[in-house]
Chains A and B, each alone.
Chain A
């Protein structure tokens, strides 16, 4: 029998309205879970005072240094005792889902049973890093809860200055735009770095995200230290019969206004017979026309990935988007995957050795310059890496002849 519920007049106002209510869910759990009764008490207090009352600490599982988010209440009376003692410890286990966040119902039911036994019964599908968040666990129950989840085949994700849980889009499993095996790529990148995930010792967090095409549904350019984005380098594919059908159905004006003139590099032209001409060398693989006419247009056959490095949010120098470090690489054969795995290891090692404390890769590259970074990890320069050449003369260029010779050599080698 659970303890008596606290009054929650503020939270109660989040039970009305058409969107599913997490408060109703918390209250249902509280009917037979004392931790949830007191969690509601503390949360209601936060709503009243507009203050948070959790502090971190050190809670973990045997063998790992991270992956648990410890939370201890700071809401205490004058006697130092927790005002909501049943929720005085409210830790989270971050558990990595399968790529693409696919599940069969039995797996999720088993997870629910484990969490009913050891935790509060509250699970987030999913946190912002892509973990399943098992929220609300006492210190004593963290280990047994992890053990059972681990026996199911699931492992802890990342937290702190460590490789973080990766994300990949639905991709090849259900999307015609997939240019790469996203799940295999993400899984390889993360599983290659598990030591740096589970024993946090990096300067700061490091994130891998994988999107199967330049629509970048995983926001990798904005959020990943190493963004892997599917693309292709031959001509995009055009089914002219389907183009004609599209024009016949939607009309020429719609096609011109919403496809032809929307092309960022003016690579499209609608012919008099309602077929489509594509200037493929001008195409930047933005995906817009393919998104709009997905039955008529599709990515080419010579698929691969573009790699970008350094995306992150505000702390400390401001928001950064990732920038190109590999314009194109194939990612089909086992050897291709090994090449990427080796490169990712180089980048992670370089970051571990050269970043300052609490510095992300984007900030490190900003500080040392892209060329130093590329040389450090063994990558060739490429004009696809820049928006435009430098606009100021403040650079020492007495190595020009050698560099120009390298370019000539590079051209001959191609």
Chain B
């Protein structure tokens, strides 16, 4: 028997071999940039060199035929180098301005939208969903595809007050991250427990420890060691489900979407913030999730009409106040918007600052 091949533990590869020559030459020596049109960046280096970047949206989960097509375009219409953004947009770098329009035309004719720069709605960052996750309450790629179809115009234009970054997550762990608008599964019923399976599959003490509200305790059910949930305490977060799959949290009807706004990672103007709940109870309705699109478009329309230049969605809400936010978006304000988790008093109004 031959020796097995052992891994080369090389870690993150060096960047240099993969860098466009103009980027390599001017590494750390860039002076300024402009956006000649949505989807195009023009960076100028201190050396006087220029690089034009054309940014196009992709479906993120790509078949290799699509990837090869994108590479063909890079070889024929660009200069053989690409990069991807954190939101799965592909970027082509060219050193001559004359190459920009033919590249745009080619990408457009192959169905790739040019945009995602400046004050646009960029591609939605998302998770795996039913395609590949082991605990998903919904799909990710499908919901994003449907939503980006609806928001296409806002991707290819830069007409928002400031950039809009949307995320989706197919469970409450929220691998999708924080966003100006975050669309996340929110379970509304406690887990359904398959007591015959718990003892076989789950390490019970770690499941008990996983619960944020200490609602899970060991119990004998039908003569078998299992776990039970105090349903009055349970917040339906689903934290017990990954370590204990017999505690099924996903429910075709009762796993809904909640929509959150005002997450911001940048330090620009205001400090970074986490997103805030604005809507819930939105049905999980494949294949195109129209109810989700409707709420997102409602929020975006109000933001676009009312926010000042450079205000992100959270900054806009802070300026006009939450009563106006709910008024302008037409979303209902409910008792569920009022925080009751630890530190909740930080989220209450401790002043006589009231807007009328």
Q: Which residues of chain A have a CB within 8 Å of any CB of chain B?
A: 10-11, 13-14, 16-23, 25-26, 28-29, 39, 43, 46-47, 49-56, 61-64, 69, 71, 90, 92, 96-109, 112, 115-116, 121-128, 130, 135, 146-147, 150-151, 153-156, 166-167, 169-170, 172-176, 178, 181, 183, 186-187, 190-191, 194, 197-198, 214-223, 257-258, 262-264, 284-288, 291-292, 294-295, 298, 313-319, 321, 357-358
Contacts and interface: CB of A to CB of B under 8 A. Distances in A.
Contact of A43 (B18, B83, B126, B130): B130
Given A103-B83, A292-B310, A122 B237 contact: no
A11 B286 CA distance: 9
Given A99-B15, A125-B62, 11 more contacts: A18-B149, A28-B63, A50-B255, A52-B137, A123-B67, A126-B84, A153-B10, A176-B31, A183-B15, A219-B177, A258-B309
Interface in B90-144: 90, 93, 111-113, 125-139, 141-142
Contacts of B308: 257
A372 to B, nearest CB: 19
A95 B127 CA distance: 17
A29 B57 contact: no
Interface string B239-275: 1000001000010110100000001011111101010
B210 interface: yes
Contacts of B142: 11, 14, 22-23, 47
Interface of B: 4-15, 17-20, 23-24, 27-28, 30-34, 43, 51, 53, 57-68, 71, 74-75, 80-86, 88, 90, 93, 111-113, 125-139, 141-142, 145-146, 148-149, 152, 172-178, 206, 209-210, 212, 237, 239, 245, 250, 252-253, 255, 263, 265-270, 272, 274, 284, 286-288, 308-310, 341-343
Interface residues of B: mostly helix, strand, loop or mixed? loop
Given A43-B130, A358-B210, A61 B83 contact: no
Contact of B152 (A18, A50, A115, A221): A18
A280 to B, nearest CB: 17
Lowest 7 CB-CB distances: which A-B pairs, in order?
A17-B149, A25-B63, A50-B252, A46-B130, A191-B11, A214-B267, A19-B148
Contact of B288 (A14, A150, A258, A286): A14
B62 A122 contact: yes
Contacts of A25: 59, 61-63, 65-66
